[in-house]
Structure 1
Amino acid sequence: MSKNETSTVRIFDRQAIELRRKRATTKSSAHDFMFQEVAKRLIQRITDVKRSFGLTIDLGARTKHLKQMLSKEESINNIISLGLIRDLKDYDLVGNEEVMPFKGASADLLVSNLVFHWTNDLVGTLIQCRQILKPDGLFLAALFGGNTLTELRQVMIEVENEISGGIWPRISPLIQLADAATLLQRSGYNLPVADTDTITVTYSDAFSLMRDLRGMGETNATLARKRHFSKRGIFSQVAERYHMLFADSKGRIPATFQIIYLTGWAPDETQPLPLKPGTAAQRLADALDSTEQSAGDSAKPKI
């Protein structure tokens, strides 16, 4: 075991993650809408980059959608997909996204669709991705952010505290946007960008939402999760409270999914560098069409 592996705080149970993904593959077509939708959004971001890519890696392939969409793009020539489940034929290589089997400086584009929120060492994984990329190679990943399932988290905490007098981590912890941006910068990428989308899905009840989460392989896999059966009636009360607090006029409940996108480039001497302070050709106040004020004053719009 390497020094990095021994020093990493383990939050997630990787064996449980593999088991959940394996179970999800048997019924993925009924629950893979989120992977499909986010794959479309990743493709749009790739097409916004006006360049061609040689070797492209679909890292942690949860479904076949991303690779299929990538293969339709004329700017992408050679695609290799890496997935976790050994007996699934939807991807080319079997491997763990925490320890990747690729040579350094071998890929032009590395894309990951809703995988990295399950890694124990996100910085280490991001660094590996940068090392796999050729100079000026593009890294693009989507992962669930901290506002995901905010309604379900709130209801779970309230109900379990009332019934049990305590709280168990029933939903996996997820990264916040600001933290994701910091980690991307720490990992050595040039021109790093972290931004976010919110996708709201409505359900007839909380049980339908939980069935979708199981079908997606996205149920709790923390090492600290509760290992024994819950008290009778807790999930019925969760469903009732969820409906009471969040149902719309048609009786449907919302579920929020925050998608964080990470974009960065492997360093290359041809890339533009940020301007030094005081060297900009145009003042920010002019660009914003406002009057520059001293520190502590608010800028006033020009009339």
Structure 2
Amino acid sequence: MNQPIALTDPAALARNRARACDDALFLQRTARGEIEDRLGMVNKAFQAPAIVAAFPRVWRDRIDGAKIVPETETLTISPGEHDMVIHSLGLHWANDPVGQLIQCRRSLRPDGLLLATAFGGQTLHELRSCLAEAEIAETGGLSPRVAPMGEVRDLGALLQRAGLALPVADAVKLSVQYKSMWHLMRDVRAMGEANVLATRLRTPTRRSVLTKAAEIYAQTFPNDTGGIVATFELIVLTGWAPDESQQKPLRPGSAQARLADALRTDETSLPD
């Protein structure tokens, strides 16, 4: 049987993350803040939390008693070990994102909470479109540069595929200002998020491609101060390990009152 083609080059990903600068990890800290905000709205105390994190230093000492788990293809968490698992902003580089969520789900006790953050499909759409336009114009071809990132509905569906109950997915968009495309690309590298696709070009991109992309970017996506704007979209996923104590939807046809009565209107039957 043929093995599935890997999306990500794990060795390159590890190198990039090892070179990441603390000052550039603002998106990791923003994702952490979104998770902490949602935890503040949960009326439940967690005694055995785990955090799957590519950058453990971002989470150090943030949640009492949390086990920090390296973000690897096979997570070092055992079935039923935790009552809460956080997966922090790394699903876009996972070769099997559903498998990551399934592993988190299996490690949860009944009624345990999963919180995950991931980059959404609008992330760096400006940079992607400018690089594509420039590369086609300069070389007549197009090479893979950015990891595929799902829309909020697609990522929310992953929770159900992983067997989680009460799934919720919402999006947070961030507009970040840069002096130029060059400054943005330097920041992306400093975040540890440079291209590690297994099918990426292994030779440097032509200077003419990058120069043209920078010109297109400055013309198409300017900000008010002579620089550019870059979009980052964070998707926050919430789901619970199934438990009998959880709310369940009513059976179809079990309503005790008519919608027309609640709306104080007449009900009109449609013709067959």
TM-score normalized by structure 2? Answer: 0.92
Structure 1 residue aligned with 2:67? 80
Conserved in 2, the CA contact under 8 Å of 1:58 and 1:112? yes
Evaluate the alpha carbon distance shift between residue 293 and residue 19 of structure 1 in structure 2; reply closer, same or farther with a 3 A threshold: farther
In the alignment, the residues of structure 2 paired with residue 290 and residue 150 of structure 1 have an alpha-carbon distance, to the nearest angstrom, of 46
For residue 189 of structure 1, what is the aligned residue in structure 2?
Answer: 164
* Structure 2 equivalent of residue 92 of structure 1: none
Q: For 2:228 and 2:132, how far apart are their aligned partners in 1? A: 18
CA distance in 1, matches of 2:265, 2:132: 46
Q: What SS is found at the alignment partner of 2:167?
A: strand
> What is the match of residue 143 of structure 1?
118
Task: Provide the residue aligned with 1:34 in structure 2.
Answer: 27
Give the counterpart of 1:211 among 173, 186, 190. Answer: 186
TM-score (ref. length: structure 1): 0.83
After superposition, what is the alpha-carbon deviation per residue over 1:165-204, rounded to whole angstroms, capped at 9, x for unaligned?
Answer: 0101112211222221222111111111111111111101
Structure 1 residue 239 corresponds to structure 2 residue 214: yes
Residues 32, 63 of structure 1: 8 Å contact kept: no
What is the aligned partner in structure 2 of residue 131 from structure 1? 106
Tell me the alpha carbon deviations over residues 13-61 of structure 1, each in whole angstroms, 9 at most, x when there is no partner. Answer: 111111111111xxx2220111111111110001110110011111024
CA offsets per residue over residues 82-117 of structure 1, 9 Å max, x none? 235xxxxxxxxxxx1x20122110101101221111
The residue identity in structure 2 corresponding to 1:102 is: I
Among candidates 266, 270, 274, match of residue 245 of structure 2: 270
Matches within 5 A, 1:1-303: 8-24=4-20, 28-71=21-64, 78-83=65-70, 96=72, 98-281=73-256
Q: Percent identity?
A: 38
Paired amino acid for 1:14: P
Over the residues paired in the alignment, what is the CA RMSD in angstroms? 2.3
3-state SS in 2 of match to 1:131: helix
**Matched residue, 1:91:** none
Q: 1:288 to 1:200 in 2, by over 3 A?
A: farther
Where structure 2 has 5 or more consecutive residues not aligned to the other structure, the ranges are none
- Cα separation, partners in 2 of 1:7 and 1:46, compared to 1, 3 Å: farther
Does the 8 Å CA contact 1:163/1:234 hold for their aligned counterparts? Answer: yes
CA offsets per residue over residues 230-259 of structure 1, 9 Å max, x none? 223221221111011111231121111111
Unaligned runs of 5+ in 1: 72-77, 85-95, 297-303
Shift of residue 144, structure 1, vs aligned partner: 0.4
